Amino acid sequence: MTAPPAPGRLSGKTCLITGGAQGIGRATAERFAAEGARLVLGDVDGEALDKLAAELTATGAEVRTVTGDVADPGAAYRMTDAAMEDYGRLDVLVANAGVLPLQRITEATPQDWDHVMAVDGRGMFLSCKYAIEAMLPNRGGSIVCLSSISGLAGQESQSTYGPAKFVASGLTLHLAVEWAAHGIRVNAVAPGTIRTERVRRLPEEPGGAEYLADIAKRHPIGRIGEPGEVAAAICFLASDDASFITGAILPVDGGYLAQ
């Protein structure tokens, strides 16, 4: 007789991942599915979402998808609501959806600022707000926000994106204190440069190849990171293994912030 599979770290937990179709979100979805989570994946890219959902379902995972823009309150609400409607509860939110423009302030327009703040700022606020409202009746839950090294320190060409990531760091600290007594933990990861679809496109942009070559050298480990390395840290913070950790912003950066 073969032994039953060992329960995963997220067995029985309903987990919403925004921006789940590619990059760090996709790697997190794959990791969470392997750890036994029931998934709700939200993203603007419905086609990519459906493709990933089919792949994960084929491995035996339970997956729902919601296509929509996290900056839109109606769409952000639908992502949480899908977890409540389909699974009856929400245990984990990974607030990951984001846009990552590379811009100096002299190149950035007011519209650029509004766009990154809408997606990375308001989108994260909305995702956290609706998730906390859904978690309150269970008196428990875990949120992991995607901050960045540029949400904790100054960097070149991050004049719009960097401040939006400081919003992610700020939300993490404030919400952690606000909801700790209700059993809801709020943490963040602060990745260094990670080889996602977004970063792979950088060499096509003016100055992007130079930026990438330079930033890779600035990570003491001597390379940029892989999406799975961030997903592993997100999984730890989301799981009960991190039951006494809230308000932490964990660098996943090859030593970048240690300098």
**Sheet of 14-18: strands edge to edge?**
62-67, 38-43, 14-18, 92-95, 141-146, 184-191, 249-252
| Interface with ligand NAD (CB under 6 A) | 18-19, 21-25, 43-45, 69-71, 96-100, 119, 123, 146, 148, 191, 193-194, 196-199
Minimum distance, C-beta of residue 176 to ligand NAD, in the bound complex (Å): 18
Minimum distance, C-beta of residue 25 to ligand NAD, in the bound complex (Å): 5
How much of the chain is in helix, strand and coil states, percent to nearest 5? 50, 15, 35
The residue nearest ligand NAD at its CB is 23
Q: With respect to ligand NAD, which residue has the nearer C-beta, 172 or 193?
A: 193
Q: Say which of 87, 161, 211, 256 is annotated catalytic.
A: 161
Only one residue has tokens 């993203």, namely 43
**What is the rounded CA–CA span in Å between residue 6 and residue 97?**
31
Q: With respect to ligand NAD, which residue has the nearer C-beta, 100 or 242?
A: 100
Nearest to 193 by CA among 48, 21, 24: 24
Minimum distance, C-beta of residue 1 to ligand NAD, in the bound complex (Å): 42
Q: With respect to ligand NAD, which residue has the nearer C-beta, 24 or 134?
A: 24
Minimum distance, C-beta of residue 174 to ligand NAD, in the bound complex (Å): 18
Structure tokens that stand for 167 in this block: 């919003």
CA atoms lying within 13 Å on the CB side of residue 95:
34
Q: With respect to ligand NAD, which residue has the nearer C-beta, 36 or 148?
A: 148
Minimum distance, C-beta of residue 76 to ligand NAD, in the bound complex (Å): 8
Tell me the β-bridge partners of 93.
Answer: 16, 143
Q: Is 256 a catalytic residue?
A: no
Measure Cα distances from 259 to 76, 147, 156, 253, 254 in Å.
Answer: 37, 18, 16, 11, 11
Nearest to 159 by CA among 197, 112, 215: 112
Q: With respect to ligand NAD, which residue has the nearer C-beta, 193 or 246?
A: 193
Catalytic residues: 161
